[in-house]
Amino acid sequence: MSTKDLRIVFMGTPDFAVASLDILVQHGYNIVGVITAPDKPAGRGLQVQESAIKKYAAGKGLPVLQPEKLKHPDFLAALQALKADLQVVVAFRMLPEAVWNMPPMGTINVHASLLPNYRGAAPINWAIINGEKVSGVTTFKLQHAIDTGDILFSESVSIGEEETAGELHDKLMQTGAGLLLKTVQAIAQNQVQEIPQAHLPEAEIKHAPKIFKENCQINWQQPLDKIHNLVRGLSPYPTAWTLLKGKNLKIFKAVKEHTTPAVAPGEVITDHKTYLKFAATDGYLVLQEIQLEGKKKMEIEAFLRGYRFE
């Protein structure tokens, strides 16, 4: 089937999905519809915000649907009318069977991990939090249970010692787009082989559940490597945090100093000019980029110039 004959509906919302939609558009695929989240108020002024995918689709003149409910009869009728051969999902929400089972070629998903590991909402964050050296992207066919469908293709990427979730996100976004193109090309040519996900015992599969604020608080009683991984894995969002004189302190960037601490875990050492570091059990976390509650994000030297310790 040619690129023009293959009718594709694309579903996605954030920046991560834009590279995948763009690569299909650039290669001449027939995107007959784009499904994304409804516009919603955001930011301090609660201005109505459009999703990254909606902005991209509008710029390319692609038809956009923004259903509140994916099971609503009006949406299902509108989706059916698009007569898609294939649906592509990248960073969207969980689909009901009436949606994912609609097109004759099925629905494929781009997931930012090497499945079956890191199924769930936050695979990029958890890979770094857990100290992984390798991550990757998987394309798979959607079925009932989330992130469990047959694997089509996967590609690995390495994770650097200081790499943050934001940096890995950008790397996987590009890798995922390339892998999606490869997958769609193979499907169009009927050259894809579906591989059931490995039957690992459930206890051995690492998961990637949604992250909440309590997951982000630093426990200074832990080893330095674990704390450093938490900071990297939550930067730039939702960000690891601790308390400094009773105020919430977000840590975007920090480096490790392996040495025997001279103070108890969680205590601070600073020269008031160039460095501020928190003690862990086996060293110090030396802060580089932070944001104190009520203040803007800043480098540590700029912060120390304006901050007064009692």
**Which residue ranges make up the annotated binding site for (6S)-5,6,7,8-tetrahydrofolate?**
113-116
Helix then strand then coil, in percent of the chain rounded to 5, is 30, 25, 45
Map residue 95 onto helix, strand or coil: coil
Whole-angstrom distance, CA of residue 164 vs CA of residue 184: 30
Whole-angstrom distance, CA of residue 8 vs CA of residue 228: 42
- C-beta separation of 306 from 276 below 8 A: no
Whole-angstrom distance, CA of residue 214 vs CA of residue 294: 20
Give residue 101's identity as a one-letter amino acid code: N
**Closest by Cα among 268, 174, 281 to 220:** 281
Whole-angstrom distance, CA of residue 4 vs CA of residue 30: 5
205-11-107-124 Cα dihedral, nearest 10 degrees: -20
Q: What is the CA radius of gyration of the chain?
A: 22
Whole-angstrom distance, CA of residue 178 vs CA of residue 199: 27
Binding residues: 113-116
**Closest by Cα among 2, 26, 7, 60 to 178:** 26
**66: which residues sit within 8 A by CB, 6+ positions away?**
35, 36, 37, 38, 39, 54
275-278-284-286 Cα dihedral, nearest 10 degrees: -40
